[in-house]
Structure 1
Amino acid sequence: MAYKVMIDAGHGGADFGATYNGRQEKNDNLRLALAVGEILSENGIDVEYTRTTDIYQTPFEKATLGNQSGADFFISFHRNSSPEPNQYSGVETLVYDKSGEKLDMAENINGALGELGFQEIGVTARPGLVVLRRTKMPAVLIETGFLNTDQDNALFDSQFDEIAQSIASAILGTLDEQTVETPSAENPVYYRVQTGAFKNRANAENMLYELQDKGFPAFLLYQDGVYKVQVGAFRNLSNAVKMENTLRRAGYSTWIDASPASY
């Protein structure tokens, strides 16, 4: 199934969002929203944006754009703030209520960012937020660290590419989870992290042996005319996301594959 995702960069224009030492939340939100959207597009997701420039929209306008797009998911990017500088730290995801696909996606995003060093505050139900209440599709609002906490800003800046990739991977992993066959005792679904696909078996084996030498549970799979190098077989998607982040930090390009055990 082809998915469409509406990406929302929170605030914009005259609405700066949180501010700290000249830093404006609206700019961080837009930069990260565009980066995640680009990765999703490269992986076959139909992506639309509430904004791609520095313009102001009311929350109701953002929700309306999402509804008019016919998107399957609405993902809003924000950064948190506290009454005093350096008072709090961590990532948090907000949802209308703690149920369904939106909760799965929120938990996966939290876990992926936690692997990068953010403290995981958790998933919080915020039914009063317009972009969560007025959207007709599952919606998640990501608070990517506190804008007025130096530690979170340093992590946001130094690992920006990894943050974008981790969020995108968590989204893609959740979408994969929705499209695979419903697992059963006879046919459970496992998540495997793919690090490469090669026409030449020798090239695949070189990567396989390299991964195994580093202690990764890697294996080789021949399918559709290519040799696929994959790592692990996880029943829990969040564990696969954690492995994916570990492999990315080790320098590998990855993709989460979901398939029945008999695959």
Structure 2
Amino acid sequence: MSPARAILRRAAGLDIFWNLGKDAPARSSVAKVPPTQPGRGSMPKVVQRRAARHGSVSVWTLALLCAALALLAVAPGVQARTTRASKPVHSAKAQKVDTTPADAPVQRFMSLLARKNVSQSQLQKIEDQLEQARKIQPDGLQGAKASFFLARVREELARKSDQKADWSKAAEAFGEYLTKFPKHVLAPDALVRRGTIRLTQLANPEGAQTDFQTVLRDHPRSSRVATARKLSRQAAKALVAPKTPAKPDKPEPAAEPARPRGAGDKALLLDIRPKNHGTASRVVLDLDQSVRFKYQLLESSAGKNEHNRVYVDLLATRLGATIEEDTHLGGGLLKSIRASQRGADTVRVVFDFADLKDYKIQTLDNPFRIVLDAFAGPNFKASAKDQAKDQAKAAEKAPEPVTFAEPSASRKRMAADLVEQLGLSVRTIMIDAGHGGKDPGAQGYGLREKDVNLRMALTLGKTLKSRGFKVIYTRTTDVFLPLEERTALANAKKADLFLSVHCNAHTDPGMSGLETYSLNLARTPDAVRVAARENAVSDRNISDLQMILTDLMLTSKIKESVDLAHGVHRKGLANLRRVWAVSDHGNREAPFYVLMGAKMPSALLEIGYITNKTEAARLNNDAYLRTLSRGIADGVLGYKAQIERFASKR
């Protein structure tokens, strides 16, 4: 009991009643207390007698009562103040967080940007602080933050001074950030800012165009894509301007540059990339947006009954300033390219070939491009100079070209394209390790798909070599290779089979197992999902891709690819199941970019789900990869025996 309450109880006479109870003699019955007499301040007689025994209580009682009441009045306020005073201590502890050297100057810089008037000295102070923060933590996310905002501060300083030297300093700061952190989340913004400085302040439209195109190519999902595309068109105009001769008597119209752009603006042909690969050629047309186009096969310019010329008309398109109007390529299959602006709305690109047997055209997205694949006729032979050039450009030493005996007349009449294509056998196999370089593929449990794919490709190649096959690879290191170039390499090297190795992924971490794909129209939602992920396009774009595929199916090795996919899947799964429990998702068909244009049977192998914990551990296990590769090799041998039996029966 608190002292105040004890005093109060004593003052009220409670202790007296308590003592009365203790001092009273023990009796069988309790004596009744006489009722109080009417009147103020009267007390029971027994209390009066007890009070008389202890002395007068009136003065002391009043004094004690007053003291107790005073203590009770003061105590709640003291307790409340004590409680309130203790709260900030706990609050301060709760608010204490770790900070990094770059946080404070970045916050000050962001608050300064909200003001109308910012002094140069304020910006310079923050510049010094960020420079120091970058020295303390040069790497990681904090280093990236310090580097980016240091460049931003210098950009604001240049805007205040409007001096070329300061603009150059800001551009260099963005360059340092981009060199060290090219994949950071703020990289697209840095590219757009540096490109804008180059275009508007440093008279460097070439460098600006490089920055804007990097955003479109490497960061297609960034919020800065629309701005980069718009500025890229402005840079293209700036590149055109110096090359256009002045005509004082007939000045150029100035209305078009000033015209605001809308949804119907023309596309821009940015680049033409040709490659001759022996008896095959590939040309890629890079554009800044998707376009409608038409194409046609023409007779040669010599007037002979030869169709060795193809033209492509790009509708609602303008010719880029860096495009050469006439390009000669030497002694390869593709001899020359001519590009011209036909009127205000159409760009025509004409391709002249030495001996054209067949060609295919397809489109790819992210960024948009048109791909033309051409294949030589039987009379074409690449020049020695052209062959030497191709070998010098090869990323790795390829085996000697496989030569096939000329089929007899009866064989030429065979309906089966398989035997004619393979020369009755399978000798050379190209293995494609999916993704690579800046494209990591799927990721899960510390693994990157591009790394697993490469390990599996090299393991499979070693196994196939031990079975007597010649093996070539699309890549043997961690490099980026566009999808359209992979089958082009297989065609150029005259591979007999093409196998593309990938890992699967799913939002459900419980999903696991093997599946093998061949090129065809997607027939299930899962096939559409996988094709969209591997092609790096949205699901709705798969419908566009399937329309393109219908034009290719007449000459693609659809049936042969299905047989190959069934063989390698069945044998690979059986070999794995000797050791591990593996789910079977079977054989499927889908329109994969990486398989399009292949002149040989091809299959895409999804060797496991990298997003499944158990399967990710297996994919990181060399024993698992070797076991699977032996099964795939058994499947290839079975397919080889199958077509040889088929050929012998004919």
**Bin of the TM-score, shorter chain as denominator length:** 0.5 to 0.7
| TM-score for the superposition, normalised by structure 2 | 0.27
**Do residues 60 (structure 1) and 60 (structure 2) align?**
no
Cα distance, 1:95 vs structure 2: 0.8
Q: Return structure 1 stretches of 4+ with deviation > 6 angstroms.
A: none
TM-superposition CA deviations, 1:24-69 (whole Å, max 9, x none): 0011111111111111112221211000111000111112111111
The one-letter amino acid of 1:90's match is G
In 1, Cα distance between equivalents of 2:646 and 2:563:
17
The one-letter amino acid of 1:167's match is I
In 2, Cα distance between equivalents of 1:58 and 1:67:
15
Q: Which has the higher helix share?
A: 2
Match of 2:590 in 1: 126
**TM alignment of 1:182-221, pairs within 5 A:** none
Cα distance, 1:161 vs structure 2: 1.6
Question: Equivalent residue of 1:111, what SS?
Answer: helix
Cα distance, 1:181 vs structure 2: 5.4
The one-letter amino acid of 1:173's match is G
Of stretches 170-179 and 19-28 in structure 1, the one that deviates more from structure 2 is: 170-179
Match of 2:645 in 1: 180
The one-letter amino acid of 1:91's match is L
Match of 1:34 in 2: 458
Question: Is the 8 Å Cα contact of residues 426 and 640 (structure 2) preserved in structure 1?
Answer: no
Number of residue equivalences: 182
The one-letter amino acid of 1:168's match is A
The one-letter amino acid of 1:31's match is R
**Do residues 147 (structure 1) and 620 (structure 2) align?**
no
- Which has the higher relative contact order, 1 or 2, with Cα contacts under 8 A spaced 6 or more apart? 1
| TM-score for the superposition, normalised by structure 1 | 0.64
Identical-residue share of aligned pairs (%): 34
Question: Equivalent residue of 2:605, what SS?
Answer: strand
TM-superposition CA deviations, 1:192-232 (whole Å, max 9, x none): xxxxxxxxxxxxxxxxxxxxxxxxxxxxxxxxxxxxxxxxx
Cα distance, 1:180 vs structure 2: 2.8
Match of 1:100 in 2: 559
Structure of greater Rg? 2
In 2, Cα distance between equivalents of 1:145 and 1:36:
15
In 2, Cα distance between equivalents of 1:154 and 1:65:
32
In 2, Cα distance between equivalents of 1:59 and 1:182:
33
Match of 2:71 in 1: none
Question: Is the 8 Å Cα contact of residues 112 and 166 (structure 1) preserved in structure 2?
Answer: yes
The one-letter amino acid of 2:589's match is A
In 2, Cα distance between equivalents of 1:45 and 1:146:
29
The one-letter amino acid of 1:10's match is G
Cα distance 1:160–1:2, how it changes in 2: closer, same or farther (>3 A)? closer
The one-letter amino acid of 1:105's match is L
Question: Is the 8 Å Cα contact of residues 433 and 454 (structure 2) preserved in structure 1?
Answer: yes
Question: Is the 8 Å Cα contact of residues 474 and 489 (structure 2) preserved in structure 1?
Answer: yes
Question: Is the 8 Å Cα contact of residues 459 and 625 (structure 2) preserved in structure 1?
Answer: no
List alignment gaps of at least 5 residues for structure 2: 1-424, 522-557
Cα distance, 1:97 vs structure 2: 2.9
Question: Is the 8 Å Cα contact of residues 572 and 635 (structure 2) preserved in structure 1?
Answer: no
Match of 1:91 in 2: 514
Question: Is the 8 Å Cα contact of residues 2 and 44 (structure 1) preserved in structure 2?
Answer: no
The one-letter amino acid of 2:569's match is N
In 2, Cα distance between equivalents of 1:121 and 1:111:
11
